[in-house]
Amino acid sequence: MEAQPVEPSALGFLLYRAHQLARGRANQAARPTGLELSHAAVLSTVRSGGVRSQRELGATLGIDKSTLVRIVDDLERRGLVNRRRAPEDRRAYEIVLTDAGEQRLTEAGELFSGAMTGLLEVLAEPERRQLHDLLTRFVDQP
């Protein structure tokens, strides 16, 4: 029997449900650190060093300006990042990870990883690799 074609809307719904499941489990696991995935995405991107300004950060993460400002405000209140005027453009702000931010991100990262490992237990290692490769190709399309 020949496999039926995949309905695009069904696939879209599965991707949405997978996102909800992964995000919920990760956020629940990292609750002791006070970080959610949105916080970790900002902290990780800042830590990578390639992005400095709030504008670049929002563009890189695909986060709208008002949402990003709320996240950065929250992280700054907690002492996990600092904002400072960009030396090359005094109108722009750089986001800088603090030592406390680095430590909290490391703690949360371990908890996020554990949550994802638990979710992925339904897949054999070759299937995990295949899922990773397929999702990487999917999100890297032009």
Contacts of 135 (CB under 8 A, 6+ apart): none
- What's the pLDDT score for residue 23? 95
Does the structure show a pLDDT above 80 at 1? no
Q: What is residue 89's predicted lDDT score, i.e. its pLDDT?
A: 76
Instruction: List domains and CATH numbers for the chain.
Output: 35-139 (1.10.10.10)
Cα–Cα distances in angstroms (integers) from residue 110 to residues 18, 30, 87, 115, 126, in the given order: 20, 9, 34, 9, 23
For position 49, what pLDDT does the model report?
84
Q: Tell me: the pLDDT tens digits for 68-118? A: 999 999 999 999 999 888 777 777 788 899 999 999 999 999 999 999 999
- Residues 26, 28, 29, CA angle at the centre, nearest 5°? 65
- pLDDT tens string 20-64: 999 999 999 999 999 999 999 999 999 998 777 888 888 889 899
What pLDDT sits at residue 26? 95
More confident residue, 91 or 16: 16
Greater confidence, 15 or 55?
15
- DSSP-derived secondary structure for 8-48: HHHHHHHHHHHHHHHHHHHHHHTGGGT--HHHHHHHHHHHH
